[in-house]
A = this chain, B = another copy of it.
Amino acid sequence: LDYQHVQVPFEITLWIMLASLAKIGFHLYNKLPSVVPESCLLIFVGLIMGGIIYGLNDKSPPVMDSDIFFLYLLPPIVLDAGYFMPSRPFFENIGTILLYAVVGTIWNVFGIGCSLYGICQVKAFRLQDVSLLHNLLFGSLIAAVDPVAVLAVFEEIHVNEKLHVLVFGESLLNDAVTVVLYKLFRSFCEMSTINSVDIFVGVGKFFVVGLGGVLVGLTFGLTAAFTTRFTKDIRVIEPLFVFLYSYLSYLTAEMFHLSGIVAIIACAMGMKRYVEANISLKSHTTVKYFMKMWSSVSDTLIFIFLGVSTIGENHEWNWPYICFTVIFCLIWRALGVLVLTFFVNRFHVNTITSKDQFIIAYGGLRGAICFSLVFLLPDFHRKKLFIAATTVVILFTVFIQGMTIRPLVDLLAVKRERESAPTVGEQIHIRFLDHLLAGIEDISGHWGQYYWKDKLEYFNSKYLQKILLREHDQPKSSIVLLYEKLERKHAIELAEAGQLGHAPSHPSLLRSGFLCSNNNRTAITDKKLEDTLNPAVLENIQEILARNLYRIRRTGPAYNRHTLPGEAEPVEHAEEILILRHKSL
């Protein structure tokens, strides 16, 4: 037995297998996932696994390595999120999202940090050794809403698109703020004196980290699009480029201390449109499917590891500090959302209702990012307290908030996601209104979103498409693409209905003979079939023949010396059909 040799890939494969099997297990009982979110179940599985490991080895199970989390588990989820981000609601609400992500997060960091410092001053709690800077550092890691946790819960409750994009967009874009504040406070903690210059540098870094991430992402995204121009002869590696370039954008951004999450989202959103036009349909299916698969596995692994890492002796328990952390997280988020939304609503016609505000505040779940960041803290004597507080906040938000948010959404009757995709008519009207509003904005001299969108669209069709698309003479509009997709889908449905016979609504189509060219191929004599095939197969084929082949035999009858071509006897035919139908029923 040579376990050493295969240990690394073997254990990785086994963990992924465990995660996938757990996912299958939950779905075997349909009732379970409809009550408890999957993320809770997975953490629960993780807790059990951790307990088993702890019990067997009598030492703490290994905690999730921050490097593994940030380098391997997080990128697939963010890539998936960016690639499938509904771009229209995202860009329509980009102002609000940025306000929540930047100002809201700063508000939360300082609010939580300062009020926890206040708690630390109470002598009875014996926490006076935790300085203001340490509290702010803790605030910076606990304040940020986690995209993985938010996605896991919000994908299941199906709130309306705007609400979804507000919470989810915030959770993605606050990464830039979190990175800056976390690193800033961590370096402040290690410095002896802090100059006012350092603070100004910190503020400047916001813009560098965020905009730098966008720049890196867009560069890689457009390069990816340009690369897929040349893959026509070698379709099989097309999907690879989508993954390689997005991952490179993430790594490059991380390398330069920029926001990797922002970079990968910019990359995915930038390349999507061009890549989809360049690659083949099958490559596109593979990209979409594999992205979903990968992010789903990453997601599962993160929650399981979160559960496993909770077990152990990493925690220092201090009731007041931990309880007040949970309370402050809730209060400051609620206050932040209320205040920011008040300003947002003053400038918008489509206001955010108070129900929506409640869900935004309540949906501020914390997750694996906080967890990884707290383990990355430099060693100091209260680190274990911070770990314990972070763990409790994560478990509280994921379990209590995650499990109650669905009933609350039902109770408040929050506007849900619309069931059906927009019709072609609606799409055309939306487009019409866009052009109209761009015209109005242009005339009135107001440079709003429609004006910029129009300019961007012009720039895109004038320059970008010509460089990035292979068939730049044939740029297809989204309506034409939708039409193609619908037609293809319908054709497949027809084909399948023709075989499976489950579609009584299509019989006229089936008999109208559009399957002729196929049937000629299968027009083989029935006799030989009956001799050679086993009964099950025979029945199957007979069913098909009965349904589809009759007409062919009539259009091309066997040569017979006594009949002229076209001289068909309708009575005999009717009889034959009847017999065949009878047999097949």
Contacts and interface: CB of A to CB of B under 8 A. Distances in A.
A518 interface: yes
Contact of A541 (B247, B251, B282, B477): B477
Given A244-B17, A428-B532, A435-B532, A537 B477 contact: yes
Given A254-B5, A285-B286, A495 B499 contact: no
A2 B230 CA distance: 33
A480 interface: yes
Interface stretch (A84-92, A168-176, A288-296, A306-314): A288-296
Contacts of A517: 490
Interface in A400-437: 423-425, 428, 431-432, 435
Contacts of A446: none
Contacts of A480: 499, 537, 540-541, 544
Contact of A544 (B28, B483, B495, B528): B483
A463 to B, nearest CB: 15
Interface in A310-331: none
Interface in A479-526: 479-480, 483-484, 486-488, 490-492, 494-496, 498-499, 509, 512-515, 517-518, 521-522, 524
B234 A289 contact: no
Contact of A483 (B499, B509, B533): B499
A186 interface: no
Contacts of A297: 237, 240
A488 B492 contact: yes
A384 interface: no
Interface stretch (A6-14, A201-209, A349-357, A366-374): A6-14
Interface residues of A, number: 99
Contact of A540 (B233, B461, B477): B477
A227 B495 contact: no
A379 interface: no
Q: Which of A67, A71, A483 has the most CB of B within 10 A?
A: A483
Contacts of A494: 491, 514
B286 A290 contact: yes
A521 B16 contact: no
Interface string A1-41: 11101101110011011001101100110100000000000
B255 A10 contact: yes
A241 B514 CA distance: 38
B486 A255 contact: no
Contacts of A21: 227
Interface string A462-477: 0000000000001111
Contacts of A3: 255
A256 interface: yes
A536 B533 CA distance: 55
Given A491-B495, A515-B487, A477 B533 contact: yes
B5 A244 contact: no
A531 B432 contact: yes
A43 to B, nearest CB: 19
B432 A5 contact: no
Contacts of A233: 27, 30
A529 interface: yes
The copy count of this chain in the complex is 2
A341 interface: no
Interface string A253-283: 0111100000000000000000000000011
Contacts of A541: 477, 479-480
A72 interface: yes
A449 interface: no
Contacts of A296: 236-237
Contacts of A24: 227, 230-231, 234, 237
A509 B514 contact: yes
A9 B249 CA distance: 12
Contact of A247 (B13, B240, B491, B522): B13
A104 interface: no
A248 interface: yes
B479 A488 contact: no
Q: Which of A21, A480, A487, A534 has the most CB of B within 10 A?
A: A487
A239 interface: yes
Contact of A9 (B251, B522, B540): B251
A428 B533 CA distance: 9
Contact of A251 (B10, B239, B254, B285): B10
Nearest to A436: B532
Given A524-B424, A528-B432, A251 B6 contact: yes
Interface string A169-199: 0000000000000000000000000000000
Given A6-B251, A234-B23, A476-B540, A521 B71 contact: no
Interface of A: 1-3, 5-6, 8-10, 13-14, 16-17, 20-21, 23-24, 27-28, 30, 67, 71-72, 227, 230-231, 233-234, 236-237, 239-241, 244, 247-248, 251-252, 254-257, 282-283, 285-286, 289-290, 292-293, 296-297, 423-425, 428, 431-432, 435, 461, 474-477, 479-480, 483-484, 486-488, 490-492, 494-496, 498-499, 509, 512-515, 517-518, 521-522, 524, 528-529, 531-534, 536-537, 540-541, 544
21 contacts: A2-B257, A5-B67, A5-B254, A6-B255, A9-B72, A10-B255, A16-B240, A16-B244, A21-B227, A27-B233, A286-B289, A424-B521, A425-B521, A428-B532, A435-B532, A461-B536, A476-B540, A477-B541, A479-B537, A483-B499, A509-B514
